[in-house]
Amino acid sequence: MPDISRRRALTAAAALAATATVATVVAPAASAADHEHPMPMPGTFDEVYKGRRIQGRPMSGGGHHHEHGGGFEVLIDGVQLHLMQNADGTWISVISHYDPVSTPRAAARTAVDELQGAPLLPFPAN
Amino acid sequence: MTVRKNQATLTADEKKRFVDAVLELKRSGRYDDFVRTHNEFIMSDTDTGERTGHRSPSFLPWHRRFLLDFEQALQSVDSSVALPYWDWSTDRTPRASLWAPDFLGGTGRSSDGRVMDGPFAAAAGNWPLSVRVDGRTFLRRSLGTAVRELPTRAEVDSVLSISTYDMAPYNSASDGFRNNLEGWRGVNLHNRVHVWVGGQMATGVSPNDPVFWLHHAFVDKLWAEWQSRHPGTGYVPTGGTPDVVDLDETMKPWNDVRPADLLDHTKFYTFDS
């Protein structure tokens, strides 16, 4: 479990409250535009949702063998959530694999709801 | 010859033999290999890349072969056992006998989703979850929570009436029978049932819930019903399609079986009706 400072958590919570009705902040265009995934890179996010830190961001470094989020990754308390983008632009995660949602943030929140406080396990890195 | 029966018609003895064979596969470690294989394919099948087990034409023959493997494993324990199917368009409530304590057990408790009765409840000690995506080692369900209604027979019939097996781009954006049955498009049959059950059934490690096999045995039966309704049409594509299993190409992980080998289920089993 990563350390989340009280200030950081409060800031994230405040930011969440302030932007609750505002459209997702648009992140800068993806660096290496992946020609296999021509869809726009989703917005970066970092918030505390139901007491857990959820983050979404363009992946740093080389793409993971198992990663199919189009170069975007989501973490829950610092553990990567296996994410996948569908052809129509919707998203699923390994926690909710048969029920597409519109954004990676929605997939992360759904995963937190489903986990009910349980730790996410890192998926096999092979 | 194996006869796959509607789960609602099984005798008490047939239910017990099925459950006991599943528990023996679990005890021996063979069961978890099936869960692992399924999760590996579900994480690697992508709309823009190689796709075999899901979101592709081979969704149906891949699962037919996967279920055959599982059924043969069950029969190595008890040769009288066949996979039953769950017609979720008929047995569509948590009160169905499928979910009784003498068969699969019921829904999970509200606090943590834990299944509390039946042979697969964690408390019985015979069903530890070892292939999983989170820290929880107990079987969970939340029947009818994330989506209220299972598909109706009218919705099933609307999908069976689609005359084309599959269509380019042969993924989750396709029109055609396969993707409407899989559920990424249209009224949503197969995917919605995973969501309706909830718990591990909604995740990539869905075979952790034994209802996975009964669900897919019915999806498989619907493929057979579709073939009966559309005898002039068949599996597509039939050759030269990148990232997609064509009719005469072999499928992973077996590498020795093609969709063409799996179109006729009567080589392997029949249905009760």
Chain B neighbors of A119, CB-CB under 8 A = 134-135
d(CA B172, CA B154): 23
Length of chain A: 126
d(CA B167, CA B144): 31
Check residue A39 and give its pLDDT: 78
Sheet of A83-85: strand order equals A83-85, A91-93, A96-101
**B238, β-bridge pairs:** none
Instruction: Give yes or no for A64 touching B (CB within 8 A).
Output: no
From the centroid of its chain, how far is CA B212? 5
How far is A123 from chain B, CA to nearest CA, in Å? 7
pLDDT at B86 over 70: yes
d(CA A118, CA B28): 27
DSSP letter string over B13-58?
Answer: HHHHHHHHHHHHHHHHTHHHHHHHHHHHHHHH--TTS--SSSSSTT
pLDDT, tens digit, for every residue of A61-99? 654 444 566 689 999 999 999 999 999 999 999 999 999
pLDDT, tens digit, for every residue of B59-73? 999 999 999 999 999
Radius of gyration of chain A (CA): 14
d(CA A75, CA B196): 26
pLDDT at B111 over 80: yes
Check residue A60 and give its pLDDT: 73
Nearest to B40 by CA among A97, A61, A54: A97
d(CA B188, CA B194): 11
Residues B198, A113 contacting (CB under 8 angstroms): no
Check residue A123 and give its pLDDT: 78
Check residue B34 and give its pLDDT: 98
Mutate to test the interface with B, among A86, A88, A97 (most CBs of B within 10 A): A97
**Which letter does DSSP use for residue A121 in this model?**
P
pLDDT at A125 over 60: no
Please tell me the least confidently modeled range out of A29-43, B108-122, B164-178: A29-43
For residue B272, the tally of other CB atoms under 10 A from its CB is 12
Contact B194 A97 (CB under 8 A): yes
Please tell me the least confidently modeled range out of A23-32, A60-69, B185-194, B252-261: A23-32
Check residue B206 and give its pLDDT: 98
3 state DSSP class of A74: strand
**Which letter does DSSP use for residue A62 in this model?**
S
Check residue A124 and give its pLDDT: 64
Q: What would the mean pLDDT of B121-139 be, rounded to a whole number? A: 96
Looking at this predicted complex, what is its ipTM? 0.94
Q: Report residue B83's pLDDT band, with 50, 70 and 90 as the boundaries.
A: very high
Check residue B62 and give its pLDDT: 98
Contact A97 B184 (CB under 8 A): no
Instruction: Give yes or no for A92 touching B (CB within 8 A).
Output: no
Nearest Cβ partner of A95 from B44, B48, B203?
B203
pTM, two decimal places: 0.89
pLDDT, tens digit, for every residue of A14-66? 444 444 333 344 433 433 334 444 678 899 999 999 999 999 999 876 544 44
Chain A neighbors of B47, CB-CB under 8 A = 85-87
From the centroid of its chain, how far is CA A39? 16
3 state DSSP class of B73: helix
